[in-house]
Amino acid sequence: MTGIRLPTLRRLGPGLLLAMGLALAAIAPASAAVGDPAAMLPDPAQEERAREIGRELRCMVCQNQSIEDSDADLARDLRHIVREQVAAGRSDAEIMDYLHARYGDFVLLRPPVKPETWPLWGMPAIALGLGLGMILAMRRRQRAAMPGGGAEATPELSAAERARLQALEDGGGR
């Protein structure tokens, strides 16, 4: 897909569009397989709980998807384990702990707050603080560069300057 330039695209026109549409239609059932009915729990409330837990767990293979969104083999196995444990009456925390013990912090899409992750969680505040500090520093510098302050301190035009300005304005109007 990378090398297609626009003129080529235009020349191919409707045919290409149709092909792309067909390709998309072919992909759709594959992604629907993530929610394979055979793998779901019969109880909709339990299934919903399993999904919520799964959405908090990272697929270790694709790494930027939750196990609910991923079609990787391992993600399917982990979805299965989550459902097994939900059906067995384990609590959300117990299920998360089970996977956390095996895959570490990385499996949690919402990392726990602890000394190692303080910089991570604190980053928004740190970035905001840095930005505010920079704005304040720039303001100070600007104010210092203009002794006596801003607009009010701008000296009035002298009589000669006013006359020259008048002459320029008159000249421009002609």
Residues at the interface with another protein (CB under 8 A): 60-61, 63, 73-74, 77-78, 81, 100-106, 139-153
Contact between 110 and 56 (Cβ < 8 Å): yes
Which lies closer to another protein via its Cβ, residue 1 or residue 145?
145
- Locus of tokens 């304005």: 169
CB of 149 to another protein, least distance (A): 3
CB of 36 to another protein, least distance (A): 17
- Locus of tokens 């520093």: 137
Closest to 39 (Cα-Cα) out of 63, 15, 67, 1: 67
CB of 137 to another protein, least distance (A): 10
As a whole number of angstroms, the distance between CA 128 and CA 123 comes to 8
Which lies closer to another protein via its Cβ, residue 30 or residue 144?
144
110: which DSSP letter? S
Which lies closer to another protein via its Cβ, residue 51 or residue 59?
59
Which positions ≥6 away from 87 have C-beta within 8 Å? 41, 46
CA triplet 136, 141, 142: central angle to 5 degrees? 100
As a whole number of angstroms, the distance between CA 124 and CA 120 comes to 8
Which lies closer to another protein via its Cβ, residue 23 or residue 153?
153
Which lies closer to another protein via its Cβ, residue 29 or residue 155?
155
CB of 115 to another protein, least distance (A): 16
CB of 85 to another protein, least distance (A): 12
